Chain A
């Protein structure tokens, strides 16, 4: 620590150069932070997806609705605690850009499978007993300023009512929230009463959509998934059962190989920054050769001179890198406040990767000039040779 002053002073020997390098580094790490956050979001959806939940979908694809009658057979599978089902409603509220997901589900069993959503008891009862009832998440309610008792018209792009009318009006009978911070982030969905929906829709009556199943023991989840799939094997409604996490992951994977694109961009960015910072460091050392020689004359051992230059590189990369990551964190936090934006997690994993990147970059750009500085011969260096 006693050399910190020295390192600091040599770093800012040329203020403009250091400042500009720090700014470039900051931009590189800002991009790193944001892109890695997106990458994490797409490659590993948040931990919320309960390990004890399975999603049963048609093997053909999740848009293929499974029949409601299947729930009887599902109940015979040992190890299942609760079963609910949901059908994608595909509705538009006022205009297409107001997009939010809506599903029709069975109120009583929905609660059993998704205990992390909380709502006053009388609202749960109202959801079960109101035919045209719907519940909305806290975030969704705040986005549109909805309150319990509001009537909300939703136009479905898929489901006409029996009379051909595609506008469905739902009564908001409850506003649910998450029982922890993670769940609260996901309260952007509207759930409508399945019985009413099924009765009123023009076609596909008796089709449940997909099933959500909660198992008693998460350790048994794989075995139960296999048991479910073999139960329906060779029937017209063959199933594909996977953990909720895999289901979510599959959803994101549809968008394509985000990871590859992000990696390619970041390689380009870091290659650039490597050349830039490497050049700055090499130049900084070259200019200071006589000074380094003086240090050695004063009795600084070779190793210490190497360490000082290396510390300077690390300090440079750390200032730039942390500034960029800080900025990325600010932006990500700001975005998370927007109602219709998925929360982009700048989590511990991203920060760890960034710290590793900072150290690796510092070594890559600092080591060659540092070794050079350590090997300097005093006489040659003082003579400017």
Chain B
């Protein structure tokens, strides 16, 4: 029996050459489904990965209680003074606590080549901000000088937005600000513009901060630090590990892309199943006489069924691979930006991961199986005598 299966299947696969037009239908159909599905999920993967990589477990972010997002939070100068003096806070060489009071506002910049603007986070940072974010690296130009209207922009921002390149000027609060540097962090801070916190406070007429970023002695010190904050009656704040906070800022983006990807994949997948059915029925009918001859020679029904199924699944996997590879070549590493949880843009790159490729191939196998099943059964049931006379 096994020998029969192998023989018929092999013969069948060789025969594909004579049905190239039909085979192309399945291959292209599956390439479409898997390509689109992979590309959409690669987008959501890239977005997630960018936010998940943001921040450190050994830093804590302190916000006003209940504010959920940096933009909604307000922290007074007094509160910052209290927050940085609690036990568990890492100290610099000179004994001063490592903490950065930061102000977060939204500024609207035009996307490259577009008329309408998009929101970009502008962050005023304290002196310790760079030490607290060890990934920070200037790639062009230099850091800003406190007191001057100078900005540094993340690499993502400088790629996506007009005027945000080295030497460019941005107009904020009635003043021109010069971009003096471009920085890299490898995470979502690259989607931000930074300046000195005091300069920002002056320009915005504020004397409070939005949040405080506090360095901890180590990642394990967080719980004790959180308890200390809660125990202080003068403070009304929420605290989270920095990394956990930014991972939680995905907004609905991942869910929405996932939803879109599923809807599109289901509809396209149905279309591809119909296409595969069509192809395999045609393939079976083109081979009517051949199959009938085999049956007359004593080949059983099962090998015929298997051979048709294998053919359809082989074509489908070929198509799926083609789609996944195309998605990889066309989209992997492509940077785009979308709205994150804080109502500002997050710049990220498409990420076609191996598990997405595997998923694409599984989808094509399933579609190939479903599309091949009915034609395979029809092939096995062909009445030998009439089939031999037909065609």
Contact = CB atoms under 8 A, between A and B. Distances in A.
Interface in B172-195: 172-174
Interface stretch (B5-13, B62-70, B239-247, B352-360): B62-70
A64 B106 contact: yes
Given A23-B274, A59-B171, A275-B24, A158 B108 contact: no
Given A20-B281, A63-B71, A265-B264, A282 B339 contact: no
Q: What range describes how many residues of B lie at the interface?
A: 35 or more
A276 B72 contact: no
A27 B270 contact: yes
Contact of B172 (A60, A264, A268): A60
Contacts of A299: none
Contacts of A20: 274-275, 277-278, 281
B106 A27 contact: no
B192 to A, nearest CB: 13
12 contacts: A23-B270, A27-B274, A30-B267, A59-B108, A60-B106, A60-B173, A61-B107, A63-B343, A166-B66, A272-B32, A276-B275, A276-B278
Contacts of A30: 267
A254 B118 CA distance: 5
A377 interface: no
Contacts of A35: 264
B119 interface: yes
Contacts, number: 145
Q: Which 4 A-B pairs have the closest CB atoms?
A: A27-B271, A272-B32, A256-B338, A61-B106
- A interface: dominant SS: helix
Contacts of B147: none
Interface residues of A, number: 55
A271 B32 contact: yes
A24 B278 contact: yes
Interface of A: 16-17, 20-21, 23-24, 27-28, 30-31, 34-35, 59-64, 90, 155, 157-158, 160, 164, 166, 203, 233-238, 240, 246, 249-250, 253-257, 261, 264-265, 268-269, 271-273, 275-276, 279-280, 282-283
Contact of B336 (A155, A249, A257): A257
Contact of B119 (A17, A59, A61, A235): A61
Contacts of A164: 236
B21 to A, nearest CB: 5
Interface string B93-108: 0000000000001111
Which interface residue of A27, A30, A237, A282 has the most chain B CB atoms within 10 A?
A27
A17 B106 contact: no
B1 interface: no
A272 B174 contact: no
Interface of B: 21-22, 24-25, 28-29, 31-32, 35-36, 39-40, 66-69, 71-72, 74, 105-108, 111, 114, 116-119, 171-174, 203, 205, 236, 263-264, 267-268, 270-272, 274-275, 277-278, 281-282, 336-339, 343, 345
Given A16-B281, A31-B267, 8 more contacts: A20-B274, A20-B281, A63-B71, A253-B118, A272-B28, A272-B31, A280-B278, A283-B282
A261 B331 CA distance: 11
Contacts of A158: 67, 72
Contacts of B172: 59-60
Contacts of A265: 36, 264
B104 to A, nearest CB: 10
A90 B173 contact: no
A275 B72 contact: no
B281 A250 contact: no
B338 A268 contact: no
A31 B118 contact: no
Nearest to A247: B116
A237 B72 CA distance: 20
Nearest to A35: B264
B366 to A, nearest CB: 16
